[in-house]
Amino acid sequence: MNGIKTSSQPGGSRRLSIDQLYVKADLSKVPIETTTEPDHSSDIIRQPRALSALKLGARIKAAGFNIFVVGPSSTWMRQAVKTYLQAEVTSQPTPSDWVYVNNFVLPHRPLAIELPSGRANGFHDRMRELIQDLKIALPAAFESAEYQSHRDLIDETTHQAQEKAFAQLRDRVAERDIAILRSPMGFGLAPMRDGKVIPPDEFKALPEAEKERIQKTIQELEPELEQAVRALPQLEKERRDAFRKLDRATAQAAVSQSIDEAKRDFADLPQVLRHLDSIREDLIENVALFVAPQAEGAAEAARLRLGGPFDRYEVNVLVSEAERGAGRPVIEELHPTLGNLTGRVEHLAQEGMLITNFRLIKAGVLHRANGGFLLLDLRGLLSEAFSWPTLKRALLQRQIVIEDLTHSMGFSSTVTLEPDPIPLDIKVVLFCDRQLYNFLSALDPEVDQHFKVLADFDDDITRTASSEEDLSRSIASMARREGIRPIDRGGLERILEYSSRLAEDQQKLTLVMDQIRDLAVEADFWAENAKHDEISRVDVEYAIDQRRQRGNRVDQHRKEAIYRQIALIDTSGSREGQVNGLSVFSLSGHSFGTPTRITCRVRPGSGKIIDIEREVELGGPIHSKGVLILSGFLAGRYALETPMSLYASIVFEQSYGGVEGDSASAAELCALLSALAAVPMRQDFALTGSVNQLGDIQAIGGVNEKIEGFFDICVERGLTGTQGVIIPVSNAQHLMLRSDIIAACAEGRFSVYTVSSIDDAIELLTGLTAGLRDEKGRYPDGSVNRRVEDRLIAFSQKLDALHRDHARAGPET
């Protein structure tokens, strides 16, 4: 981008020129008038490292090469990866369909059958047609004259055998005046006279000798009767066997034609053929389900009712091409619970009981994405109990096991379904930010085992004419996808400039596209309000202003406190040991800067610099490190031959919360030097930057917000033309300031200065020369450094004199 143009100022400081405060986008050479033309849809721009990783992960076949996509957490990143993968699999074959069917041997272990793509629904429909046909064919076969004649013949044969078994016995007992009687209790013998059974009353009236003879005769004939009776169950069994054989033969004849026709439709699928043979055997064994008469509507109710007599012949289509479409699937799951991930077995309440069967096996996203790509957000995955270990186990075993959580945890001992596992061939793509990825990798060693490919997306890209064109085309693609009105060239340029502001770098463009998308949608709303046909630069600028206003409540309250002199900030005059530091705050996605008064007081002491923030535990470790660096700077620059005899206290005035970061260390050092040199510093300047032990001013973050925060205070009190902000020279490339600040700088009413060392900063703030040591090692008279060194030497001499006086006085008595 444009180089830095500066004008000389006292010392090593530089006042930035206007073109250095903001770098405009230029799409004049790009053939785009609005986002409606031309039709480009590139979503992954300038990401060669991430794109190479995606290609490897998408195309390599070896196990474990799943993909971890790491970068700014955003919808855009997921959409970009999804779009790329969909393009990658467009011409690739569609994975197999899967169905579950009844296991006629072990009903609690449903069988999984793999079918060629697009065949599952045909199999399901064919089986339903088969059952409907058999509901007609089987009753017809059993109602036929042929079947009835065979059944009558069996009855007649059995009856004749029974008659034959009793005929000979009946004749023999009749010769001895005994009759065979049949009662509900069985068979018995009774005396006869003249061919008729003697009634009990008459039998009792017989002479005793006659009764004894009859009873003896009956006793002699009872064994023969028992022998004849014992033959009857065998004859009845033979009758039932004959009926069963007849029923099987009839069912076989009725079923075989339908089954054989169905088998012809699936002759290329051995698993289906075996299942149809199992159905044939079960139909023959359970033909009564079809033959038994049912009330009107009972058959349909039985079909619909879970556990009905025809359930066992249904087909449960788990996944099919009709459901997930042609080609390898690319599926994103936003709620990866255990059931949504691996599937589940559902239950229905019927007649006070929870029942289930293979028809209630439901597919999970692993089933639907099998053979393709599954996209998951890691944070959502980890927030669901058991989902992360279950996913790793599935990838390790390379199969999908539908687990009942209550059984696996030992909470239930009831019998439930154990569906066949389904082989798993999938590429899992996990999305997360870098912090979460690093955290998980450190805690879980299995991450590298299952996710060997890292696609690391950059947060931003280098800003060039080419990358501006690429991003503008991506914005155009996004605008068409969102259905917002066209964005003209000026609107695109303003969005690109906003992208640099988000990246906090003139030479970068952010790739956090969610924020760019939100801005475009809001600009579309304001363009509609203004009745604009296209989104212009004015609409985008207005949307940016509105976003800033919506989130500046806390910022406004802090500034109001300064305006009303509740929080003390000077923007004019000079004060000794006092400087305006700059801080930045981020609340709910809104960042703003604000000045903070930093003061310092010094006196002779033991060489200790007191950070009051740290002493009261309001300062964070980085802030404390910055203050400790000040001690190293003083010890290495001043009064090198004398002990450090200083006591200094530094504080952020009216700061009641935590302080973190070292971006105020340069301001703290300037306050310390001012207090030591007894030189006042200008209060119409604010300073930001960190400092090292050598006195170099280093870059900090949030430089735009910090400048804007001090500028707003100065505007409220009235711009004098002398006010400005001092920043590290390395931060000049990060400036993308508001248009009102640029206008004020252009008119000479405000300035932004860069410094590279603490000497540059102190010269700007005091108007005095910092001073360099001469060949004799002395700083020039009147310089700030000379005054500081003389003060430190004086402190040391005072302490030495004090120690001598104490020594001469001796110990107190």
Show which residues are catalytic: 663, 706
Query: How far is it between the farthest Cα atoms of the chain?
Result: 166
- C-alpha–C-alpha distance, residues 651 and 668, integer Å: 8
SS (H, E, C) 398-450: CEECCCCHHHHCCCCCCCCCCCCCEECCCEEEEEECHHHHHHHHHHCCCHHHH
Residue 376: enclosing H or E segment and its boundaries? strand 373-377
- C-alpha–C-alpha distance, residues 702 and 201, integer Å: 124
Asked whether the bond before 38 is cis by omega within 30 degrees of 0, the reply is: yes
> Do residues 419 and 361 make contact, with C-beta atoms less than 8 angstroms apart?
yes
The candidate with the shortest Cα–Cα distance to 13, out of 754, 806, 762, is: 754
Q: From the CB of residue 622, how many other CB atoms can be counted at a distance below 10 Å?
A: 14
The dihedrals phi and psi of 592, each to the nearest 5 degrees, come to: -150, 150
**Token pair for 722:** 């002398």
The candidate with the shortest Cα–Cα distance to 630, out of 683, 590, 671, is: 671
- C-alpha–C-alpha distance, residues 650 and 660, integer Å: 15
Residue-by-residue DSSP string for 641-694: TS----EEEEEETT--S-B--STTHHHHHHHHHHHHHT-EEESSEEE--EE-TT
- C-alpha–C-alpha distance, residues 600 and 617, integer Å: 18
- List all residues 6 or more positions away from 395 whose beta carbon is below 8 Å from its beta carbon: 63, 64, 66, 424, 426, 428, 450
The dihedrals phi and psi of 500, each to the nearest 5 degrees, come to: -65, -40
The candidate with the shortest Cα–Cα distance to 108, out of 322, 325, 361, 379, is: 361
Helix axes 489-503, 465-482, angle to 10 degrees: 110
Residue 243: enclosing H or E segment and its boundaries? helix 208-265
Helix boundaries (H) for 465-585:
465-482, 489-503, 513-529, 537-550, 553-563
> Do residues 509 and 471 make contact, with C-beta atoms less than 8 angstroms apart?
yes
> Do residues 716 and 744 make contact, with C-beta atoms less than 8 angstroms apart?
no
Q: What is the DSSP letter of 34?
A: B
Residue-by-residue DSSP string for 342-361: H-EE--EEETTEEE--GGGE
> Helix or strand or coil: residue 22?
coil
> Do residues 32 and 473 make contact, with C-beta atoms less than 8 angstroms apart?
yes
The dihedrals phi and psi of 801, each to the nearest 5 degrees, come to: -65, -40
Residue positions counted in the chain: 813
Residue 192: enclosing H or E segment and its boundaries? strand 186-193
- C-alpha–C-alpha distance, residues 148 and 152, integer Å: 6
The dihedrals phi and psi of 608, each to the nearest 5 degrees, come to: -110, 135
**Token pair for 542:** 């207005």
- C-alpha–C-alpha distance, residues 488 and 779, integer Å: 60
**Token pair for 159:** 């009856």
- List all residues 6 or more positions away from 498 whose beta carbon is below 8 Å from its beta carbon: 516, 519, 540, 544
